[in-house]
Amino acid sequence: MTPSSSLLSRIEAGVAWITLNRPAQRNALDIPTLKALHSLLDTCNSDPSVRAVVLTGSGRSFCAGADLAEWAEAEARGALESYGWTETAHALMTRLHSLDKPTIAAINGTAVGAGMDLSLCCDLRVAAQSARFKAGYTSMAYSPDAGASWHLPRLIGSEQAKRLLFFDELWGVDRALAAGLVGEVCADEQLIGNVSELAARLAAGPTFAFAQTKKLLREGADRSLPQQLAAELAAGLLCGRSADGAEALRAAMEKRAPHFTGL
């Protein structure tokens, strides 16, 4: 993978590591960064050598959300409602949320606004002890605009979501973990090692089945139980016909560990 000016990326042992790389701006998301990340995720999704994706930030912040300098410049020229940040961000959040490959947010510092929302679009969230979470919207007299109003009630419940959004509270990792905003907390110096271990387990797993599972989980909330059972049946048939499905059965019969290829 080739890094853009605002992103660093590499593939190691089937894991694509993507690092937001604007430390002077606390990895704030301007439109070029949003577009570059979207393109990179498209590449990861179509690259068979990528079996899991990790997203993290450089420096002391995971992501500070929207680039306020870009926002202010657009307002100064009377283009705040038309300069395209929200639409570009929505396309990125949708791409990350719908990615076939399993994703992990390695949250290495403050995650604010759309930066927090970016982590919410990932399948798993591992936070360093120094991580902090803040919605950031109402303190700017603004409402959520990058998915927080959809993700938060599903992850932490309606009342906790309202507390985080209405009062714009700064949550440390203990509260984030207790509420279900993240799934794991570790010391700062252990973050990359812990995430590497999780990502390696995902990369070695049946990634075709992971993709079907992700789709079932995404779409299940809008279905009745009978509809979901029908979707599970269809997905199960696809998994059973896959190379990984055949390998899993052979391995079980031969009493050995399976070797999955994602096919």
**Helix, strand or coil for residue 103?**
strand
Selecting among 38, 42, 67, 90, the annotated active-site residue is: 90
Q: Please check whether residue 214 is in contact with residue 206, taking contact to mean a CB–CB distance below 8 angstroms.
A: no
* Residue 168 is a catalytic residue: no
Using only the alpha carbons of the chain, give its radius of gyration.
Answer: 19
Nearest by Cα to 173 from 8, 9, 62 = 62
The CA distance from 129 to 126, in Å, is 10
* Residue 90 is a catalytic residue: yes
Selecting among 30, 123, 145, 168, the annotated active-site residue is: 145
How would you label 130-168 residue by residue, b for 16+ Cβ within 10 Å and e otherwise? bbbbbbbbeeeeeebbbbbebbbeebbeeebbebbbeeb
| Tokens read off for 129 | 């002890």
Catalytic residues: 90, 145
